[in-house]
């Protein structure tokens, strides 16, 4: 929804890494072990992957980053890259959700391995089927959607990712109540970005 509204592609670092896993590359095998244990790939590796993508023509007008930056080092690297490339500083959308809500959502999540559409057993009317309503493929539970892995990732998030928020203040930081429905969250983001949208979009 955001990608369409902003007119820029979405770039998920998680999907990029999982594609390496699916292809069985050397990097993919290393990533698979890390993801299964709720750990993160090194800053240097993620930075190189993201910047390589951002330098491609498809991302010349900007993009929606999902899952990056996760650390202060990654955030500083991204800031330096954008500055050197003559781009404006990133806008940060902080979807604020309590731990217990995150745990309930992720342990009920299923994903289509084909079209990557995500479903939730608590909100989507799947009935007795485990087939994707978009393409018909069988849905799968991701290896990192186990409760112990999720709790480990949440602890890491608060220790490692949380400090990033201190780097972004003023008009570049947007706190959004993430406990609401997807439509309400989307409209909340639109309200926050609309005042700075013209300058944000025109600078690309």
pLDDT tens for 143-190 read 888 899 999 989 988 898 889 988 887 888 999 999 999 899 999 999
Are the C-beta atoms of residues 56 and 158 closer than 8 Å to each other?
Answer: no
Residue 122: which residues within 8 A CB-CB, separation 6 or more?
104, 105, 108
In angstroms, the CA 184 to CA 204 distance is 28
Burial class, 181, CB count within 10 angstroms (exposed 0-12 / middle 13-18 / buried 19+): exposed
Tens-place pLDDT, residues 11-32: 888 787 777 788 887 777 887 8
In angstroms, the CA 109 to CA 116 distance is 12
| CATH superfamily of domain region 2-107+146-202 | P-loop containing nucleotide triphosphate hydrolases (3.40.50.300)
> In 3D, which of 59, 145, 79 has the Cα closest to residue 106?
145
């Amino acid at each position: 929804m955001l990608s369409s509204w902003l007119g820029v592609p979405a770039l998920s670092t998680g999907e990029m890494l999982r594609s390496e896993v699916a292809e069985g590359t050397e990097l993919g095998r290393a990533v698979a072990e890390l993801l299964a244990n709720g750990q993160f790939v090194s800053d240097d590796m993620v930075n190189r992957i993201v910047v390589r993508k951002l330098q491609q023509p498809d991302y010349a007008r900007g993009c929606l980053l999902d899952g990056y930056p996760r650390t202060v080092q990654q955030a500083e690297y991204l800031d330096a890259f954008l500055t050197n490339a003559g781009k404006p500083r990133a806008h940060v959308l902080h979807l604020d959700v309590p731990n217990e809500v995150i745990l309930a959502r992720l342990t009920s999540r299923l994903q289509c391995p084909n079209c990557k559409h995500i479903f939730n057993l608590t909100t989507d009317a799947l009935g007795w089927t485990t087939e994707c309503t978009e393409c018909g493929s069988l849905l799968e539970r991701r290896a990192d959607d186990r409760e112990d892995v999720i709790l480990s990732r949440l602890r890491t998030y608060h220790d490692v990712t949380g400090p990033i928020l201190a780097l972004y203040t003023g008009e570049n930081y947007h706190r959004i109540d993430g406990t609401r429905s997807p439509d309400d969250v989307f409209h909340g983001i639109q309200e926050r970005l609309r005042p700075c949208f013209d300058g944000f979009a025109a600078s690309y």
